[in-house]
Amino acid sequence: MLTLIKNIKQIVGIDRTNRMRLQGKEMAQLETLDDAYLIIEDEKIKAFGPMSDLADSKFDLEYDASGRLLFPSFCDSHTHLVYANSREHEFVDKIRGLSYEEIAKRGGGILNSAKATAAASEDELYDMALQRLDEAMRLGTGAIEIKSGYGLSTESELKLLRVIRRLKEHSPLTIKSNFLGAHGIPMEYRGHQEDYVDLVINEMIPKVASEGLADFIDVFCDQGFFTVHDTERILEAGIKHGMRPKIHANEMAVSGGVQVGVKYGAISVDHLEQMGDAEIECLKGSETMPTILPGCAFFLNLPLSPARKMIDSGLSVAMASDYNPGTAPSFNMQLVLSMACIRYRLTPEEAFNATTLNTAYAMGVSDILGSIAVGKLANFYISKPISTYEYMPYSFGENKVESVFLKGRKL
């Protein structure tokens, strides 16, 4: 099947060199093409070029994108999309002065979600998650990583991962799954958390692996949660079972999470609100994508990651939503794009790259997604009539996406 999109005012985010990620100064490069066409064959981009070069041929479908810009879909490389309840009561507690850590200590936070998630059936969780995915897709997201971590028991963690497997089978989005059994310490393990780490290693990981349920393994390596030692033990077990690490690091404190992630070849280390020079140095020359989660820092009023300093020192930066009910209840990547510019001082070019190609890398799909390139999946969105691509981050809070194509099909 051949589909033509014609009269595109501008294609944004073209990559002709098959780069897997962009680092330092490269992040400022954003190739565009004015007055363009794009041809889709089945699921993939077949060709694009200036309208003046479009040869006369037959297409099964044609769309006219006059006045509109075409962008590669956002890749959201960090979400906790499968959960049961929202947590607006804790939101109010935080406004009244309690900290995220204080709420967690008294059994709120992750444990609160785990309780509700344990009580929900697999079908109920699936239906809720599918609805959220549908909304995220319409806001321009074309690929998404989803973590477990609201189970915290073997049975419940498997239930969440099976929901993610069903989503992979039924959603047009490209989905990667991440096993985050070490997300919180259940109450009954308080004071002897090494026993919970044993459970993750000896029972959960082998079961998750035997059903092939996870692409990645994650640990919340931070003050008040899992230690570097816990993290090393869990990562070693996960790697043995074929899961590549992705780490929650340095949200609450300079936790050693960045170093442990790099040491174990993590595909990404995420959060990074607390970054010293040692963390930046350690990431240099590594294969690990530093990933910042602007929605979480915004929602919790956390210090901002030194994104500008990271890019200026030659590092890559990716930015994802962290969508979850406790610290980032928004999967809107258009908002992440705006925050990248407004709060972290990325230029629009850097912000697009941080939310597309670099997040694609952080979930292991930058060979097939994250830019407009011949042979990549035809996952892109067409904007409403807008003036320039800079308008996208500039006009924060407004949905600028008019139509969405995933795997070559218009939603």
Residues at the contact surface with Fe ion, assessed by CB under 5 A: 322
Span from 15-23, 107-115, 124-132, 386-394 in contact with ligand NIG (CB under 6 A): 107-115
Asked if 82 contacts 125 with a C-beta cutoff of 8 angstroms, the reply is: yes
Q: 74 or 150: whose CB is closer to ligand NIG?
A: 150
In degrees, to the nearest 5, what angle opens at C-alpha 336 toward C-alphas 285 and 270? 35
CA pair distance 226, 356, nearest whole angstrom: 30
CA pair distance 217, 205, nearest whole angstrom: 9
117: contact with ligand NIG by CB under 6 A: no
- Least separation in angstroms between residue 150's CB and ligand NIG is 7
DSSP bridge partners of 33: 11
Asked if 211 contacts 158 with a C-beta cutoff of 8 angstroms, the reply is: yes
Contact of residue 110 among ligand NIG, Fe ion, none (CB under 5-8 Å per partner type):
ligand NIG
272: contact with ligand NIG by CB under 6 A: no
How many residues at the interface with ligand NIG, by CB under 6 A?
Answer: 13
Contact of residue 360 among Fe ion, ligand NIG, none (CB under 5-8 Å per partner type):
none
Question: Three-state DSSP class for 411?
Answer: coil
Tokens of 352: 């697009």
What does the DSSP assignment read for 242-283? Answer: TPEEEEEESSSS--SHHHHHHHTT-SEEEE-SS--HHHHHHH
Q: 322 or 350: whose CB is closer to Fe ion?
A: 322
Answer for which of 113, 178, 268, 366 binds ligand NIG (CB under 6 A) is 113
DSSP bridge partners of 41: 2, 44
Cβ-based burial of 190 (10 A; exposed 0-12, middle 13-18, buried ≥19): exposed
- Least separation in angstroms between residue 151's CB and Fe ion is 15
Contact of residue 132 among Fe ion, ligand NIG, none (CB under 5-8 Å per partner type):
none
Q: 183 or 376: whose CB is closer to Fe ion?
A: 183
Question: Three-state DSSP class for 46?
Answer: strand
To the nearest 10°, the Cα dihedral for 280, 282, 286, 290?
Answer: -40
Span from 196-204, 253-261, 323-331, 354-362 in contact with ligand NIG (CB under 6 A): 323-331
Question: Three-state DSSP class for 389?
Answer: coil
Q: Which residue is nearest to ligand NIG (CB)?
A: 326
Identify the sign of the CA torsion 81, 86, 92, 94.
Answer: negative
Q: 8 or 146: whose CB is closer to ligand NIG?
A: 146
Q: 145 or 322: whose CB is closer to Fe ion?
A: 322
- Least separation in angstroms between residue 111's CB and ligand NIG is 9
Within 10 Å of residue 202's Cβ, how many Cβ atoms?
10
Asked if 72 contacts 356 with a C-beta cutoff of 8 angstroms, the reply is: yes
Answer for which of 326, 348, 393, 408 binds ligand NIG (CB under 6 A) is 326
296: contact with ligand NIG by CB under 6 A: yes
Q: 157 or 322: whose CB is closer to Fe ion?
A: 322
Per-residue contact flags (x/-) with ligand NIG for residues 51 to 90, judged by CB under 6 A:
-----------------------------x----------
Report the residue count for the chain.
Answer: 411
Contact of residue 326 among ligand NIG, Fe ion, none (CB under 5-8 Å per partner type):
ligand NIG
Contact of residue 327 among ligand NIG, Fe ion, none (CB under 5-8 Å per partner type):
ligand NIG
Q: 249 or 377: whose CB is closer to ligand NIG?
A: 249
CA pair distance 317, 291, nearest whole angstrom: 6
Q: Which residues bind ligand NIG (CB under 6 A)?
A: 80, 109-110, 113, 220, 248, 251, 296, 322, 324-327
